[in-house]
């Protein structure tokens, strides 16, 4: 339609969002008829043993007429598939002693939908024209948060403390001295482990964030899409945490089921009722597919054992191999890697990089390697001139190991070239 005028909502969500442009870039590259090394996306790796378990479960469902009808032929309540929810409540109560029941859990059509609902519940314009924001106590943070708010200027963030370590490693830590919660804070949100860095906020840091949130009477949202209790892609001993003031967000995607779009919210009853109501208005009900596929493995507790014995070792093996290649190929380059503590990404920091990370991304794209420029991962720090934001890349190690190694070699070549051109 010529001259079509969009509402403010329409303009906001058709603007050049970082995640939209990147997904489009990856789609064009994949469909462009040339070989591309995909090190930018968040798609989980293919774990054959897990896929076989899911395939067998789907065969069993298809062989049972009633089970198949339940899978594809009925609407479930806006809260989601009740059998799955009941099984999960029982599992969390049994394993962690949480005072939790089915009324504390609801499902959404993917975690991204869940965050859209939650963030816009707790931030934006309130009565009396009061404007509240989502507080990110640690950046960099997930790129998918950046454009999710109905309002602009939706986040406030704090620079991390940087702990430089041996073997070209470093770690971000929460700067509690830099966090000031005022009337503008609607909720605190942290991902654990963090996409893009693989950082795992420590148990001590989580306890302090929980205390801070309760003291200021705002919810603490924990994005555990890669974390505990499942899929458990965490390479250290950490404890899951939940109470009535915490909103714990889980997902089936990183187990190896990204296409089923099943997000899980564990929260107090009031929040669960609110999200369920939004589900009804926006989509009538969450989809059945993922919850019914995973219902038995949640009921038996197999989802936890698979996370520990299958999913986590799969990624831990991949990250160790990728790190070996990086240390070999990056020899002589000024580089650091965020200590890989979880998720499926490596966060590369090239101190005093003479070009921006976005320019490096463009150079790598021309070489057939797709990564993600680090500058996209700092929501809430848009006006901050911190040079660190333009010195980092996110790469994934979840895909084919030979491809990952080839991509790392090309990254090293382009970084070396950039420093050489600048006389470094």
At 264-275, the pLDDT tens digits run 999 999 999 999
pLDDT digits (tens, 9 = 90+) for 129-169: 889 999 999 999 999 999 899 988 899 999 999 999 999 99
Q: Which of 289, 303, 300, 299 is nearest to 67 (CA)?
A: 289
The larger pLDDT score, comparing residue 3 to residue 312, is at 312
Give the whole-angstrom CA distance, residue 115 versus residue 123.
Answer: 11
Distance of CA 322 to the CA centre of its chain: 21
pLDDT greater than 70 at residue 17: no
- Structure confidence at residue 23 (pLDDT): 63
Binned at pLDDT 50, 70 and 90, residue 207 comes out as: very high
SS3 string, the chain, reads CCCCCCCHHHHHHHCCCHHHHHHHHHHHHHCCCCCCEECCCCCCCCCHHHHHHHHHHHHHHHHCHHHHHHHHCCCCCCCCCHHHHHHHHHHHHHHHCCCCCHHHEEEECCHHHHHHHHHHHHCEECHHHCEEEEEECCCCCCHHHCCCCCCCCCEEECCCEEEECCCCEEEEECCHHHCCCCCCEEEEEEECCCCCCCCCCCHHHHHHHHHHHHHCCCCEEEECCCCCCCCCCECCCCCCCCCCCEEEEEECHHHHCHHHCCEEEECCHHHHHHHHHHHHHHHCCCCCHHHHHHHHHHHHCHHHHHHHHHHHHHHHHHHHHHHHHHHHHCCCCCCEEECCCECCEEEEECCCCCCCHHHHHHHHHHCCEECEEHHHHCCCCCCCCCHHHHCEEEEECCCCHHHHHHHHHHHHHHHHHHHHHCCC
In tens, the pLDDT along 107-119 reads: 999 999 999 999 9
Spatial contact of 410 and 367, defined as CB atoms under 8 Å apart: yes
CA–CA distance, 339 with 358 (Å, rounded to integer)? 23
Peptide bond into 253 cis (omega under 30): no
- Once rounded to an integer, what is the mean pLDDT over residues 222-232? 97
**Considering only the top CATH level, what class is 51-305?**
alpha beta
Q: How many angstroms separate the CA atoms of 177 and 180, rounded? A: 8
Mean pLDDT of 10-37: 65
Query: Is the model's pLDDT at 1 over the cut of 50?
Result: no
Measure the CA–CA gap between 360 and 40, rounded to whole angstroms. 13
CA distance 50 to 85: 22
Q: What is the pairing mode between strands 263-266 and 246-251? A: antiparallel
pLDDT digits (tens, 9 = 90+) for 388-424: 999 999 999 998 999 999 999 999 999 999 999 987 6
Q: How confident is the model at residue 16 (pLDDT cuts 50, 70, 90)?
A: low
Asked whether 250 and 108 are in contact (CB, 8 A), the reply is: no
Q: What is the pLDDT of residue 13?
A: 76
Is the model's pLDDT at 125 over the cut of 80? yes
Query: Could you tell me the fold of the domain covering 8-49+308-421?
Result: 3.90.1150
Q: What is the pLDDT of residues 286-336, one digit of tens each?
A: 999 999 999 999 999 999 999 999 999 999 999 999 999 999 999 999 999
Tell me phi and psi for residue 227, to 5 degrees. -105, -150
Every domain of the chain and the residues it spans:
8-49+308-421, 51-305
Q: Residue 398: which of 346, 344, 348 has the closest Cα?
A: 344
CB 362 within 8 A of CB 25: no
* Gyration radius of the chain's alpha carbons: 22
C-alpha 219: how far from its chain's center?
19
- Identify the pLDDT of residue 129: 82
Peptide bond before residue 193 is cis, with ω within 30 degrees of 0: yes
């Amino acid at each position: 339609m010529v001259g079509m005028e969009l509402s403010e909502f329409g303009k906001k969500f058709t603007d050049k969002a970082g995640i939209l442009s990147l997904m489009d870039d990856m789609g064009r590259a994949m469909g462009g008829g040339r070989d591309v090394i995909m090190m930018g996306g968040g798609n989980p790796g293919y774990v054959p043993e897990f896929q076989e378990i899911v395939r067998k479960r789907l065969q069993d469902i298809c062989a049972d007429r009633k089970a198949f009808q339940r899978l594809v032929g009925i609407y479930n309540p806006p809260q989601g598939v009740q059998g799955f929810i009941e099984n999960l409540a029982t599992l969390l109560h049994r394993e962690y002693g949480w005072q939790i029941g089915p009324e504390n859990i609801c499902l959404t059509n993917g975690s991204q939908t869940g965050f859209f609902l939650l963030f816009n519940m707790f931030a934006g314009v309130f009565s009396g024209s009061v404007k509240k924001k989502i507080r990110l106590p640690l950046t960099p943070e997930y790129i998918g948060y950046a454009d999710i708010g109905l309002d602009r200027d939706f986040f406030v963030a704090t620079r991390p403390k940087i702990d430089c370590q041996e073997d070209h490693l470093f770690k971000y830590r929460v700067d509690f001295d830099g966090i000031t919660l005022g009337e503008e804070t609607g909720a605190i949100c942290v991902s654990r482990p963090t996409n893009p860095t693989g950082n795992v906020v420590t148990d001590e840091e989580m306890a302090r964030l929980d205390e801070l949130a309760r003291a200021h009477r705002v919810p603490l949202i924990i994005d555990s899409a890669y974390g505990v209790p499942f899929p458990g892609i965490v390479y250290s001993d950490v404890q899951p945490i939940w109470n009535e003031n915490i909103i714990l967000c889980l997902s089936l995607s990183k187990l190896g089921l990204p296409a089923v779009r099943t997000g899980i919210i564990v929260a107090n009853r009031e929040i669960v009722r609110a999200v369920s109501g939004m589900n009804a208005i926006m989509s009538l009900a969450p989809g059945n597919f993922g919850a019914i596929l995973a219902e038995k493995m949640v009921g038996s507790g197999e989802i936890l054992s698979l996370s520990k014995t299958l999913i986590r070792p799969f990624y831990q093996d991949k990250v160790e191999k990728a790190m070996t290649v990086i240390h070999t190929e990056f020899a002589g380059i000024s580089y650091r890697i965020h200590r890989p503590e979880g998720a499926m990404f490596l966060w590369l920091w090239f101190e005093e990089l003479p070009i921006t990370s976005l320019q490096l991304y463009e150079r790598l794209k021309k070489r057939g390697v797709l990564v993600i420029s680090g500058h996209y991962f700092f929501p809430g720090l848009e006006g901050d001139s911190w040079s660190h934001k333009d010195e980092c890349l996110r790469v994934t190690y979840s895909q084919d190991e030979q491809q990952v190694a080839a991509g790392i070699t090309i990254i090293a070549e382009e970084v070396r070239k950039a420093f050489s051109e600048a006389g470094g």
